[in-house]
Amino acid sequence: MQATDESVDRDASRAPVTRRRKENLLEFVPLLGLIVVIAVFAIITKGTSISPFNLKLLLNQGVILAVIATGSSFIFSMGNFDISLGACTCLAALVGALVQNATDNVAVALVASLCTGIGVSLIAGFSIAYFRLPSFIVTLAMLMIITAGVSLIIGVTSGVYLENDLKRFDTVMVKLIVLAVVVGLATVMFRFHRLGRSNKIIGGSQTVAFYSGISILRNTLLSFLISGIGIGLGAFLLLARTGCVSASTGSSLGFDIIIAIVLGGMPISGGAKSRISAAIIGAFTITALNSGLSLMGASPGVLQLVRGLLFLVVVTLLVLRHRERLLVR
Amino acid sequence: MVKAPARGHVRKLLKNTAVCLSVPAAVFIIFQVVCIATGNEYISRETFRNFVFDVFKIGFIAWGLSFNVPAGRFDFSVGATICLAAIIGGNVASALGLGAVGLLVCCVVVGAVLGAVSGGAYVLLRLPAMVVSLGMALILEAFSYMLYGGGGIVLIGEPHMLSMIQAPWLYILGVGVFVILVVVANYSRFGYSWRALSSGQSVTVQMGVNEKANAVVCYSLCGAVTAIAGVLILSKTGTQRPVLGLTSIPLMFQGFLPLFVGMALARYSEVITGILIGAVVTGLINQGFAALGLPLAAQSILNAVIWLGFVVVAVNQGKLGEFKAARGWRKSVAGSDGRPQQ
């Protein structure tokens, strides 16, 4: 009898270890997803998708998405939701382009892009934190205001072209350095700084965070500040890459970032499982998916359909074990 | 001789009516004064038709939204549903050689089906409504592009199909849908369950209300009602092009200001009537901005700012009350011998 009890106790003590090991293994699923996406498209396109030209293209597009997604991870980890990221990037790129044309000074243009990204992001963050508004309401209003504002400045069909292009910044080396710095700093902030840890607690439960003495106002403002820096840097890289800004610049970027974060394995409600790697892996997964489907000749409609379906499937799989009996609102 | 309770009821009714009508009246007076001061004409005989069209278009979108948003189900797919319902309904009606009523019926049926699909996805996936609707918006937009060779629907040169925005029909349609919605929302079993679920989900489910069926019906009704807005837009422009990249969101956004005004006025009337008043207020604001010569983009910015301001005030009403109470307490302290009054 005693032996049986001991074996039960041993099984019980082993259970959390097995579960932890399983959870550790599950953390690699998004990375596996990225490898599978690249491999599948490499087979279907008979190696075209992994040609040096396409890989460079993938890196060029993926880095911009990854930089903005990394910054916005701080917002998403709190359980906040930003659908205005694409519009903010467009506005920051527009201001950068206008300043670059006016001053012909790259540093000033970069600062202008950064200030615009930070400013717009902080307005949203302040409205959410101070007035206690739902983040999707504020960012929806911001999306409307910025989209209309950009149309008002440059018109719906025309665009702003750089008089002296910034192609010297559109190199793989520059982008990799920017990405490495952003990811490095964000990882340190997220894992070792109080901000990252408290953001996860807020994402888990605002009530617990409040009673633990965490300032939700301060965390929200800091998170939106970091997101704004990501937007500003991403907008500058986008401007260097395209050389022009129109009303449609970054139109699909906003949703791509949300899909990227989800594909990277971060829960859309934030919390303890939030991590910076989700933004990087997800950004390259969605870029590889877009690139692969385009190489296969998929129309924009098919491309969007696949993204929509993938988004719903991945979010469902992520929360499969945590679904509630009542419908979630 | 009128008895005391009846007199009180009449007084309350008059007070509520006065509050409800004071909002559009105030907006009208402000813009009338500004337009006179700037030498512009506010609402003329020519622009009145446009105003009525605007009110009903916005009203249909807001009525549709009212089935889900107050219940905590934020729906990003409404704009995509409007576009896809107009494209499929318009093409079916055109292929069958139907007239304006046929176009309306086809679009409403397609809208109801699309709404039911969105509702079904929400119930089956059991994810937050906002997340599901974001995915559904992408999928529905994609179908608007993939169907009919990406051409959408063009009914220019088919005046018999586009007469729903003409004078008697638009009023009949608007008033008819208003009456039906008032009955559905206030005097039906579904309406009772819908209002109960909006107030308290857990308790209502424990009382035996089928939450899932109610949610699907809400989404379906939302699709059907907002599809009418699609018919009005199609009848006005003669075309409906496909939408991609979540560009359908601004269409949905048009219904938010009347919806929130309607929800605020609901305590003085009921939600469907409140939304109609909200739509009139939004129409008056839009006409005012247009009369002042503001570009469409500037109007969109101002509408979004007004809506956000309205939401800030609505959400922080308690805070405002606390602030007033604190100020009153400080005044009373200052007026006395330094000790707070008991």
Average pLDDT, whole number, for chain A? 88
Dist. CA A120–CA A122, nearest whole Å: 5
Which CATH number does the domain housing residue B206 bear?
A: 1.10.3470
Give the model confidence (pLDDT) of B127-138 as tens digits.
889 889 999 999
Confidence label for A177 from pLDDT (cuts 50, 70 and 90): very high
Which CATH number does the domain housing residue A221 bear?
A: 1.10.3470.10
Chain B's closest residue to A86, CA to CA, is: B245
Which range is least confidently modeled, A166-175, A285-294, B316-325?
Answer: B316-325
Dist. CA A40–CA A12, nearest whole Å: 41
Dist. CA B40–CA B32, nearest whole Å: 9
Cβ of A158 under 8 Å from any chain B Cβ? no
Q: Note the pLDDT of residue B4.
A: 64
Quote the domain boundaries for residue B31: 18-293
Confidence label for A322 from pLDDT (cuts 50, 70 and 90): low
Q: How many domains does chain B have?
A: 1
- Asked if residue A83 belongs to a domain, the reply is yes
Q: Which residues of B touch A312 (CB under 8 A)?
A: 121, 125, 127, 131-132, 135-136, 139
Please determine, for residue B335, whether its predicted confidence score (pLDDT) is greater than 70. no
Yes or no, beta carbons of A311 and B246 under 8 Å apart: no
Cα–Cα distance list, A51 to A172, A223, B298 (Å): 16, 38, 46
Confidence label for B22 from pLDDT (cuts 50, 70 and 90): very high
Question: For residue B273, what is the DSSP state?
Answer: H
Dist. CA A62–CA A285, nearest whole Å: 9
Give the model confidence (pLDDT) of A205-234 as tens digits.
889 999 999 999 999 999 999 999 999 999
CA distance A325 to chain B (A): 8
Q: Note the pLDDT of residue B342.
A: 37
Q: Which residues of B touch A305 (CB under 8 A)?
A: 138-139, 142-143, 146
Which residue of B301, B315, B320, B322 is the best one to mutate when testing the A interface, meaning the one whose CB has the most A CBs within 10 A? B301
Segment holding B239, helix H or strand E: strand B239-240
Dist. CA B32–CA B335, nearest whole Å: 43
Please determine, for residue B244, whether its predicted confidence score (pLDDT) is greater than 50. yes
- Of the candidates B127, B244, B297, the beta carbon closest to that of A152 is on B297
Q: Which residues of B touch A328 (CB under 8 A)?
A: 126-129
Query: Where do runs of H (alpha helix) occur along B67-188?
Result: 78-96, 100-125, 129-146, 167-186
Q: Note the pLDDT of residue B313.
A: 87
Confidence label for A86 from pLDDT (cuts 50, 70 and 90): very high
Residue A268 CB burial class (10 angstroms; 0-12, 13-18, ≥19):
buried
Q: How many domains does chain A have?
A: 1
- Asked if residue A19 belongs to a domain, the reply is no
Quote the domain boundaries for residue A91: 28-292
Average pLDDT for A76-99:
93
Q: Note the pLDDT of residue A10.
A: 58
Average pLDDT for B90-108:
95
Average pLDDT for A82-104:
94
- Asked if residue B323 belongs to a domain, the reply is no
CA distance A308 to chain B (A): 5
Quote the Cα angle for A63-A69-A70, to 5°: 90
Phi-psi region of A79 (alpha: psi -120 to 50; beta: other; left: phi over 0): left
The 3-state DSSP class for residue B18 equals: helix
Q: Note the pLDDT of residue B99.
A: 92
Q: Note the pLDDT of residue B340.
A: 43
Which residue of B67, B75, B138 is the best one to mutate when testing the A interface, meaning the one whose CB has the most A CBs within 10 A? B138
- Asked if residue A5 belongs to a domain, the reply is no
Segment holding B280, helix H or strand E: helix B271-291
Q: Which residues of A touch B308 (CB under 8 A)?
A: 127, 137-138, 141
Residue type, B37: A
Q: Note the pLDDT of residue A30.
A: 87
Average pLDDT for B188-209:
89
- Asked if residue A140 belongs to a domain, the reply is yes
Percent of chain B topping pLDDT 90: 64
Cα–Cα distance list, A287 to A34, A298, B167 (Å): 10, 14, 51
ipTM of the complex: 0.85
